[in-house]
Amino acid sequence: MSRYLFWRLLQAIPLSLGVIVLTFLLIRLAPGDPIAVLAGERSTAEYQAQLRKDLGLDQPLPVQLVRYLGSVLSGNLGYSFSLQQSVLSLVLQRLPATLLLMGASLLLSVTLGVWIGVRTAVRPHTLGSNVATVGSLLGYSLPSFWLGQILILVFAVWLHWFPLVGMTSLVRLTGLAYWADVAWHLVLPTLTISAFNLALFARLVRASMREALEQDFIVSARGKGLPSRIVVYRHALRNALLPVVTIFGLNLGAMLAGFVLVETVFGWPGLGRLTFDAIAARDYPVIGGMFVFLSEAVILANLLTDVLYGAIDPRIRYA
Amino acid sequence: MSGEARSAANGEAVLEIEDLRTSFRLRRGTVRAVDGVDLFVRRSERVGIVGESGCGKSTLALSVMRLIQTPGASITGSVRLGGLDLLALAEDEMTQVRGARVAMVYQDPYTFLNPVFRVGDQIAESLIAHRGMSIADARTETLALLAKLQLPQPASIIDAYPHQLSGGQRQRIVIGMAIACRPALLIADEPTTALDVTVQAQTLRLIGRLVADLGMSLLLISHDLSVIAALCDRVYVMYAGQIVESGPVEALYGGARHPYTSALFGATTTLLDPKREFTVIPGAPPDLASPPSGCRFAVRCPHRMDRCAQPPPPFAAGPGWDARCWLLDETADASARR
Ligand SMILES: Nc1ncnc2c1ncn2[C@@H]1O[C@H](COP(=O)(O)OP(=O)(O)OP(=O)(O)O)[C@@H](O)[C@H]1O
Ligand code: SF4
Ligand SMILES: [Mg+2]
C-alpha cells in the first residue's frame, strides 16, 4: 500500500509542475499588455518601463518562468489588482464556503445516489425504480444554472421557503443560530449541484450493481446462507463501488467547474464566484491563481481517489 | 419410483428428490435442464452424478440449494432435506438452511470467492450468520478449520486475499466455507475441474476425508467417471436432463446396462486424466428446448430399435440398480420365457 502510494505521489509531482508552467504561459501569452492595463493608458513611457522592471517583466521568458515557479511553490499565487489583496489570501477566504457547499452536496448525492442505485439494481421492475430512472435521466440532463434559477423562482420568490441569495442573512447571528442560518441558505444551492451528481451516482451504481449481482461470488455468498441484506450491501456493493470511485475522480474537475455557475447564480461567496468575478474584471493574477489552485485540487482529489480505490480493492494494493 | 427410493423415504435418506423439473424460459423456447429426476442420498453415503457437459448437473445442484436466480426459471417437484420440504420453504427459511444443513462446493475457485474480502472473513461470516458466533470466536474456529483443510500457515492465510492464493488453496477455502457449519449434506459440483492436475487427486482425497470425519453425506458431480469411482458408493448417470442409469459404483463398473453409461466407461479409461474428455461418443446430446419424444439417447445409440421411439421407463437391473433402456425389457422378457 505505502509503496503504491509513494509511486502515485511521485507521479503527481511532474503533473503539478506542468500545470504551473501551463498557467504561466497562458497568462503571459494572453493578448494585451498587462503593464498598459496596470499603469493606465495615459501613463508615460518611462513610468511603464519602470513598472515593467519592478515586476520583472523585462526579463527573458525562461527567467520569468523560473521566478514564477519559485513564487508559486513558496505559496505566492500573485496579487489581485482589482481586489487589492494577495491571491492566496483571497482563495483562503473563499475556500470554506466552497468546501461547505461541496461537502453538503457530496454527502447528499453519494448517500442517496448509492442507495437509489442499489435499490433499482436489486428490484429493477418496480414503480419506484421506474420513477427513479426517469428522475435520474432528468437530473442528468438539466443544466445547473437553469435548475438553480427555477429553484430560486419557486422556493424563494414565490413560496419564500428559502432565501434568494448569499450564505448568511444580513442580521448578525452567533453560535447555533448562525449555523442554522447558513444551513437554510445552503439548501437550494446544494440541491442544484446535487441534482446532476445524484443522477450520475444513481446511474453508475445501478449499472455496476447489476453487473456485480451476476457474479459467481454472489451465488456462493447466498449459498452460505447469508441474508440478502448482507449479500447486496457487503458482497455486491463493495465490488460495485470500484468503477464508481474511478468515475467520481474523473468527474471532479467538471464538478468544480460547475461551481462557477452555481455560486454565481446563488451569490455564494466561494471560489466559483471569485473566479467568475475575476474573469469579469480581467484580473489575470486571480484567474491564474485559481487555475493553479483548482488544478492542484483536482490532482490531489485523484490521488485520494486512487488511495480509496486501493482501500476497496486489495488487488490494486499489492500489484 | 424404484423400490430403493421408497425404502429411503422410511427415514435413512438425508436428501430425497422426486420428479424434480427445472426449466428456463428463453426466447428460443423453454429449456428443460432438469426433466423429472428422482434421486436420494442416505446418511453418510457418497453419491455421484455423472454426465456430459450441459446435461443439467449444475442446474440440479443449484435447484436443490434454491440458488437459481434467472428470472422466469421454474422449479417443481419435491426436494426433501431431513424432514424439510425445501421447495416449500419461504426464502428467509431457506436462508437458514443454506450453509447450515446443506452446502455447496463450486467448480471455479477463482470466481466463487469474493476478490475484495479476506478469505478468513469469507469463512467466518458463515459461522457468524448461522451459529451466532462473535467475530473473535469465529476467527478462532476459522483458524482451526484452515488447519483441518491442510492449508500451510493458517495464521497468515486467514488474512490473505483470494488473489494471493493458488488455485488449490482457493478451492480449500471454498470447501472450508461449505463445511464450516457442518452441514448434513455437502454438494460438490465439479470441485476439481478447474484445478491443476497435480492437486486434483489431493483435493478429492481431502473432500473424502472431511466427509468421513464430519459424518456428512456427499453428492459429488463430475463429468469424469474416474473421479466418481474414486470417491462414491453409488452413482447416477445423467443424460439430457434425466437419470438414465443409477446403482452401486462397482455394479456399473462391472457391466453398465445403459448404452450411454457403457459409452462413458469406454471414453474415460485413465484415472484423473483431464485430457480424456468423453466427446469421443459420436454425435451430440439433444437440444433441451426440444428433446426427442422417445429415448433421448436414440440418435447416438448403436442398439437403437423401433420401440426406442417410445420413452423407456426405468427397469431394474439388479439390487438398487436401475436403467432407463428398452434393452433391459427384452432381457427380462427372454428370461421370463425360459
Ligand atoms: N441460467 C440459465 N439460463 C438459461 N439456460 C440455462 C441456465 N443455466 C443452465 N442452462 C442450460 O441448461 C442446460 C444444463 O446446464 P447445466 O449448467 O446444468 O449443465 P452441466 O451438466 O452442469 O454442464 P457442465 O458440465 O458444462 O457444467 C444447458 O443447456 C444450459 O445451457
Ligand atoms: S432405449 Fe433404445 S435408443 Fe435408448 S439407449 Fe436403450 S437401446 Fe438405445
Ligand atoms: Mg456444471
A204 assigned to some structural domain: yes
Ligand 1 centroid, distance to B278 Cα (angstroms)? 18
Beta bridge partners of A169: none
Q: What average pLDDT does range A296-313 have in this prediction?
A: 85
Structural domain total, chain A: 1
pLDDT at B106: 96
**C-beta B237 within 6 A of ligand 2:** no
- Per DSSP, the three-state class of B283 is coil
Inspect the interface and report whether the beta carbons of B67 and A216 lie closer than 8 Å: no
Chain A hits for B133, Cβ within 8 Å: none
**C-beta B174 within 6 A of ligand 2:** no
Inspect the interface and report whether the beta carbons of A225 and B104 lie closer than 8 Å: no
Alpha helices in B32-183 (DSSP H): 57-65, 91-97, 119-131, 135-148, 154-157, 167-179
Q: Grid coordinates in use for A131?
A: 420513477
Among the listed ranges A64-78, A182-196, B147-161, B176-190, which one has the minimum average pLDDT value?
A64-78
Tell me: pLDDT of A78 over 90. Answer: no
What is the distance between the alpha carbons of residues A249 and B182, in angstroms, rounded to a whole number? 45
Q: Grid coordinates in use for B83?
A: 424432514
Instruction: Give the model's confidence band at B314: pLDDT under 50 very low, under 70 low, under 90 confident, else very high.
Output: very high
The mean pLDDT of chain A is 86
Q: Grid coordinates in use for A286?
A: 486571480
What is the distance between the alpha carbons of residues A154 and B83, in angstroms, rounded to a whole number? 64
Chain B hits for A219, Cβ within 8 Å: 62, 67, 69, 106, 112
High-pLDDT (> 90) share of chain A, %: 29
User: Comparing B245 with A22, which gets the higher pLDDT?
Assistant: B245
Instruction: Give the model's confidence band at A1: pLDDT under 50 very low, under 70 low, under 90 confident, else very high.
Output: low
List the 28-67 stretch of B: residues with Cβ below 8 A of A: 62, 65, 67
pLDDT at B273: 45
A13 assigned to some structural domain: no
A180 assigned to some structural domain: yes
Tell me what percent of chain B is helix, strand and coil, each rounded to the nearest 5: 40, 25, 40
Tell me: pLDDT of B175 over 70. Answer: yes
Which of B99, B108, B163 faces A225 most closely, judged by CB atoms?
A: B99
- The domain in which residue A100 lies consists of 87-312
DSSP result, B291-306: --SS-TTGGG-TT--G
Pairing of strands B321-323, B242-248: antiparallel
What is the distance between the alpha carbons of residues B230 and B212, in angstroms, rounded to a whole number? 14
A279 assigned to some structural domain: yes
Q: In what order do the strands lie in the sheet with B84-85?
A: B29-42, B13-26, B74-81, B84-85
Q: Grid coordinates in use for A99?
A: 468546501
Among the listed ranges A213-222, B15-24, B65-74, B269-278, which one has the minimum average pLDDT value?
B269-278
Q: What average pLDDT does range B278-283 have in this prediction?
A: 64
What is the distance between the alpha carbons of residues B178 and B322, in angstroms, rounded to a whole number? 31
Inspect the interface and report whether the beta carbons of B129 and A227 lie closer than 8 Å: yes
A106 assigned to some structural domain: yes
Q: Which atom of ligand 1 is nearest to the CA of B57?
A: 21
Measured between CB atoms, does B156 come within 8 Å of chain A?
Answer: no
A119 assigned to some structural domain: yes
Q: Which atom of ligand 2 is nearest to the CA of B260?
A: 5
- Per DSSP, the three-state class of B67 is coil
Is residue B177 within 8 Å of B123, Cβ to Cβ? yes
Tell me: pLDDT of A198 over 80. Answer: yes
pLDDT at A217: 97
A48 assigned to some structural domain: no
User: Comparing A43 with B212, which gets the higher pLDDT?
Assistant: B212
The residue with cell 424460459 is: B25
> Which CATH number does the domain housing residue A98 bear?
1.10.3720.10
**C-beta B24 within 6 A of ligand 2:** no
A195 assigned to some structural domain: yes
Q: Domains for chain B: give ranges and CATH numbers.
A: 3-101+183-337 (3.40.50.300), 102-182 (no CATH)
Inspect the interface and report whether the beta carbons of A220 and B98 lie closer than 8 Å: no
Q: Grid coordinates in use for B9?
A: 423415504
pLDDT at B31: 95
